[in-house]
A and B are shown apart, each in its own frame.
Chain A
Amino acid sequence: MITMSKNKTNILLYLLLKNASVFFISLFIICLLLALVPDTAIPGDVSYFERVKDYLTIAYLFSYDYSVAGTFLISELILHGSKLTFTLIFLSLLIVLTIALPAGILVASEKNTNFQKLFTVTVSLLSPIPILIWASLLMLLVFVFGNMVPLYIDFEDGDLRTRMFVLLIPVAAIVLGDGILLDFYNKIRDETRKVMNEPWLIAVKARGLPIYNHVLRALLLPIFITLSSKITYLISGIIIVEYIFAWQGLGFMIWRSLETPGAKDYPLILGSVKVLLFTVFLFSFIRDILTYKLNPQLMK
């Protein structure tokens, strides 16, 4: 998709335009889908297109004031929800990277030691298990042994120990579930192996210079590529974890407002969907920039 164009700003503009168009088109499709949701609070004579029209106004004109519940502003709800969701997402990504990065590099540098075989087998056996199963198994374990239920309510007023405990279980469910760890680990291991055999890296080593900065720089791009491809699975995983551990994040808000009977809180749903789409936009935008910037052939 990246055509060779002359100057740098032209490229950045092109990438920004591409990702922004993806953002708005998927928002449009979601409005179309939302209008299909049956809702008794809407009088019968409102046609499908009118519903789509006012969802589009809500979504594109950023026009919202009070949530249906009336107690809180939509912006407050979304702020609180995104605070929760992004703590979960970024903490689990952080832990995934801190596990996958050293393991990938270590495994790539040594030729198939038994540590490498052991690690690959365990990760590939653990990862196909979905987040739902991990969450319920962890909940079972924590209740049977810790005799405690890690819910978000304790997070606010608990001391540091309960906070970490309540935060750790959902994050562990996300990290282990849905093959996220496996994908990162495989990608990093293959990339490091490829870089290690590069002739210029051996030359750098021959000159006595350290090589870790070159390896990390070469890993930056594949990490972002896997990240942007895994982000949609991560979002649906987040919704499940928030449902089970009662974290009132964005995913949970979308799910509960769609699920509860009676008037549905469309501004809230569209607001949270926009925030999630923005993260997808951000990740793919950074990925495109990195593909362009790090790629030596395109260097001008």
Chain B
Amino acid sequence: MRYFIKIAISFIIVLVFGLAHAQQNTGLRYIESENVASLNPYENNSLRMVNIRFHEFIFESLFRYDYNREEFLPVLAMDYSVIDGYTYDVKLKENVFWHDGERLTADDVVFTFNYAKNESNLRSLSMFFNNTISEVNKINDYTVRFSFFNPNLGENLMSLTYWILPEHLLSDGPAARREFARRPIGTGPFEFRQITIQGTGRLVRNDRYHGKVPNINDVRMDVLPDFDTATLRMRDGQSDLLVNTPISRVEEFERTHRLEPFQSYNVHAIGINFENPLLHNRNLRRALVYGFDRRRSLNQWFDGRGSVLAGPFTSSSPNYNPSLQLMEYDVDRAKELLRRAGFTTDRQGRTLDHDGNPIKLNLLVKQQLVSGMSNVIQDFIEQMKAIGIDVNAQFEISERYERRLYFEKDFDLALMEWVINPVYDISHLFISDNIYPGGHNIMSYKNSQIDELFEEYRNTDATRRLRRSQIMYDIQNILATDVPCIFLFNFDQYAVFSNRFSYTLIDPFAFFTFVNEWEVLDYYE
């Protein structure tokens, strides 16, 4: 009996003094919210951001597209020469080695593109390669000849910005592929060490890296599904980097950590379903915009970190029309617009439509929201009630949300979020021939003028830059006045670093591209 008492007391002591001090070094420990799906970049659902970020450590591509200077910079390749519009010759760097010591040769490049075209089960990627690249063949050990289907320089070079895989490891059958998926070998700045079932990934510095050898000596990725526990760990100092921080929670780290901003291309909007005849009325749509105080919500819930949108583009994208004026919050204007649209209001202040019953709109929302948006929705519902429109929120899990949005079109308003792709093409959202079940034009918005302008934009050559931006300006003006959807916010994006990291440049679409240039102070503050 006495023996048990001793055990119990030792338990209690442990409980009270259970402080955990992980040992500090110059390593980078960052937190993700979900497990890395697959270590082979050409396997299914590898296009999630979590995988892309993890693959950036290990693999490298021939070229890299720089969004600020809008040009392709060489990584594994030295340069490219255009023989005629359809074939390019790419010269590889000489002294590049794989992590297991093999030398990078043209065979690897040829094998990678053939593998991606026919054997990869990532349908979207292999379809893209088969449409753009006709064939790839090797000239000599360090030059590869690519022949393409159409002469569009931008698109062709874009297809060369995908990871290169080692041919000597993957060429002999599926068993080798399975082994590669467990221990990937690349040419990147960091070597893969180990990934546990729990999701903790470990990488070690590649000292023979052909570019600048990184200062960080090892990288550790932890997976924490719950964001609150992630914040607690950051405050404890057990982690250094929080990659995707919800914008409403950034202020908690303001005084204790370093916030590294990077351009953000996410657009939040409330889509309007044009199949509902009531919403055809332009004054009603404009009243919705005027009736919702977007600036107050942005300041209150997101600390003002972002900008209210007047059009589909974010201020940092090149074709942004600065002369667009924002429809500021103005309740009387909204009510006046409703009156002009022919809606009457009853005693309780509810607006009645033409045949006399109060307007009821249902707002389709995805279930697990970015933490601040649920407050925005509640604000929206309250302020719509103020101008007499009764909005009720319907929450759905992401599968049913997408089915009701894309296929059944069973919604009046829908909270949507889209990311403008690197080539700033938003035509697929507003072109009328995208209005089929599953098409991207969710609002089923038909405007012939917009269609013509987008068509003209596609045909003008990339060099006539002034003409293209003028077309974009006209499109934005029309969209701003025609209100296909209520454009809400574009939030700034921050990565939260601990103070040990002094210089940390981030590429918005490929987070860890410049990880080898990051500087770490090697003492623990």
- The answer to whether A72 has its CB under 8 Å from any CB of chain B is yes
- In the assembled complex, the CB of B217 is this many whole angstroms from the nearest CB of chain A, namely 17
Q: A246 touching B19 by the CB < 8 A rule?
A: no
The answer for the CA separation of A195 and B397 in the assembled complex, in Å, is 54
Query: With an 8 A cutoff between CB atoms, is A68 at the interface?
Result: yes
A159's closest neighbor in chain B, by CB?
A: B20
Distance (Å) between the CB of B404 and the closest chain A CB? 10
Tell me which residues across on chain B come within 8 A of A70, comparing CB atoms: 37-40, 43-44, 181
Contact of A76 with B197 in the complex, beta carbons under 8 Å = yes
> Which residue of B44, B195, B198, B398 has the most chain A CB atoms within 10 A of its CB atom?
B198
Q: Which of A145, A146, A156, A259 contacts B200 (CB 8 A)?
A: A156
* Chain A 61-77 near chain B by CB (<8 Å), digits 1 or 0: 00000101111100011
Which of B228-236, B246-254, B369-377 is the contact stretch? B228-236
Residues of B within 8 A of A71 (CB): 36-39, 181-182, 195
CB-CB under 8 A from B236, the residues of chain A are 147-149
**How far, in whole Å, are A91 and B164 apart by their CA atoms in the complex?**
48
Of the listed stretches B219-227, B287-295, B314-322, B481-489, name the one at the interface; the rest are far from the partner chain. B219-227
Q: CB < 8 Å: which of B37, B178, B182, B197 contacts A80?
A: B197
* A161 beta carbon closer than 8 Å to chain B: yes
Chain A hits for B229, CB < 8 A: 149, 151, 246
The answer to whether B225 and A246 have CB atoms under 8 Å apart is: yes
Tell me how many residues of A have a C-beta within 8 Å of chain B: 42
Q: Provide the A148-184 mask, 1 if CB < 8 A to any CB of B, else 0.
A: 1101111011100110110010000000000000000
Given the known inter-chain contacts A80-B197, A248-B197, A256-B225, please indicate yes or no for A158 contacting B20, CB distance below 8 A: yes
- A243-B400 contact in complex given A70-B44, A248-B199, C-beta closer than 8 Å: no
Least distance between A95 CB and chain B CB atoms (Å): 10
Q: Which one of A6-14, A233-241, A260-268 is at the B interface?
A: A260-268
Q: Are B18 and A246 in contact, CB atoms less than 8 angstroms apart? A: no
Q: Does any Cβ of A come within 8 Å of B299's Cβ?
A: no
Say if the beta carbon of B402 comes within 8 Å of chain A: yes
Say yes or no for A297: interface residue by CB 8 A criterion: no
Chain B residues near A44 (CB-CB < 8 A): 407
Known: A38-B400, A71-B181, A72-B197. A246 touches B224 (CB 8 A): yes
Please report the C-alpha to C-alpha distance between residue A168 and residue B200 in the assembled complex, in whole angstroms: 22
CA distance A163 to B519 in the complex (A): 33
- Is the CB of B466 closer than 8 A to any CB of chain A? no
* A165 close to B15 (CB less than 8 A): yes
Whether A244 lies near B226 (C-beta < 8 A) is: yes
Set of chain A residues within 8 Å of B18, measured between Cβ atoms: 146, 148, 161-162, 164-165
Instruction: List, sorted by A's number, 22 A–B pairs whose CB atoms are closer than 8 Å.
Output: A40-B398, A44-B407, A66-B178, A69-B35, A70-B37, A71-B39, A71-B182, A80-B198, A148-B20, A154-B22, A156-B198, A158-B20, A161-B14, A162-B18, A162-B20, A164-B11, A165-B18, A168-B14, A243-B225, A248-B199, A261-B398, A263-B45
**B interface list, Cβ under 8 A from A:** 11, 14-20, 22, 34-40, 43-45, 178, 181-182, 195-200, 222-226, 229, 232-233, 236, 238, 397-400, 402-403, 407
Other than A69-B36, A161-B14, give 7 A-B pairs with Cβ distance below 8 A.
Answer: A146-B19, A151-B224, A151-B233, A153-B222, A154-B20, A164-B11, A168-B15
- Which 8 A-B pairs have CB atoms at the shortest separation, nearest pair first? A165-B18, A261-B398, A38-B399, A70-B38, A80-B197, A162-B20, A149-B232, A69-B37
